[in-house]
Amino acid sequence: MNKTPRIVVLYGGVGSEREVSLRSGEAIAQALRASFEVVALVLDSESLPVSIQSDSSVVFPALHGSFGEDGQLQALLEAAGIHYCGSDAAASRLCMDKAATKKIASDLRIAVPAAISFTGADAPLADAVIEQLGASLVIKPADQGSSVGLHFTEHRSALGVTLSGIRSGNWLIEQRIAGRELTVGVLKGAAMGVVEIVSQSGVYDYKAKYTPGSTEYQFPANIEPAVEAKVKAHAEQLFDACGCRDFARIDFLLDGSRPYFLEINTLPGLTATSLLPKSALCVGYDFEQLAAELVAPGIARFLKGALE
């Protein structure tokens, strides 16, 4: 294999983050066309398109959440001998599990918000949660992205109502940290620029993410050099410890000078105005240049002729 492969962008999907994925897929496909032959395929089921040729194509998954970021798609690609960009199936599964990645962060002595994990079928009592974590809380799915299902509660009554409405799935209740929201992109193991997210409402939820004008972004973030270095070091440690490859985006909350790890996004949003491109701009990559860098490791694996 010595010919540059075509890039097959897979996007859409059937999960709750389909609309976000459609935007990412269209944007990254357009950016990649500046340098590569690109085929963009919208997925409408949890299966691989039969048209993908393993001997001439590298897949770029631009899917978020289920069947995209959770390792299912990656496992199918591996079984079919198809090279692809981003983290492998095992790392994708791990990073989709917020509780598991928090455990890894704790083992690395990286601060994380105190939390309780539970399933929808066995939700804890509000009084027990408040006794352990206090009343200011964040409730979120343990294995979803794009702030789907995110709830903030400050009182027992609101917590009780939220918990009573949860019937299924895996969930996480976290002690709410009153801090600055930061995120940093990692490209081939190296942290790029730190981005600060400033939501007008004070809550970076789905509405704040996807409503124009509701959130401001500072990149690079205006933080002390020592804090910036710590955030970047933590991001690189987590990327490595979780077995990630190629790229990811890692989110933190900053309380004073102490960063708290929140989660790893192995397939972050990829429009020109998404957070990963903002992080990349801090180190000199425009969107087309970033797109080329994101696919470079996958192409190298293809040309090497062996799946990692």
Select which of 210, 217, 236, 255 is catalytic: 210
- Out of 25, 249, 274, 285, which one is annotated catalytic? 249
Spot the catalytic one: 11, 269, 285, 298: 269
220 prior amide bond cis, ω within 30: yes
Catalytic residue among 265, 285, 298, 301: 265
210 is catalytic: yes
269 counts as catalytic? yes
Q: Is 122 a catalytic residue?
A: no
165 is catalytic: no
> Exactly one of 251, 274, 285, 298 is catalytic; which is it?
251
Judge whether 216 counts as a catalytic residue. no
Which of the following is catalytic: 21, 57, 146, 274? 146
Measured CA to CA, the distance from residue 103 to residue 167 in angstroms comes to 25
Question: From the candidates 15, 263, 285, 301, which is the catalytic residue?
Answer: 263
Residue closest to 92 by CA, chosen among 57, 134, 49, 143:
143
Active site residue 131: no
- The active-site residue out of 11, 13, 15, 17 is 17
Describe the crossing of helices 72-79 and 89-96 by its angle, rounded to 10 degrees. Answer: 170
Q: Which string of DSSP letters, residue by residue, matches the chain?
A: --SPPEEEEEEE-SSTTHHHHHHHHHHHHHHHTTTS-EEEEEE-SSS--TT--TTTEEEEE---STTTTSSHHHHHHHHTT-EESS--HHHHHHHH-HHHHHHHHHHTT-----EEEEEGGGPPPHHHHHHHH-S-EEEEETT--TTTT-EEE-SHHHHHHHHHT--SSEEEEEEPP-SEEEEEEEETTEEEEEEEEEETTS--SHHHHHSTTSEEEESS----HHHHHHHHHHHHHHHHHTT--SEEEEEEEEETTEEEEEEEESS---STTSHHHHHHHTTT--HHHHHHHHHHHHHHHHHHTS--
- Residues designated catalytic: 17, 146, 210, 249, 251, 263, 265, 269
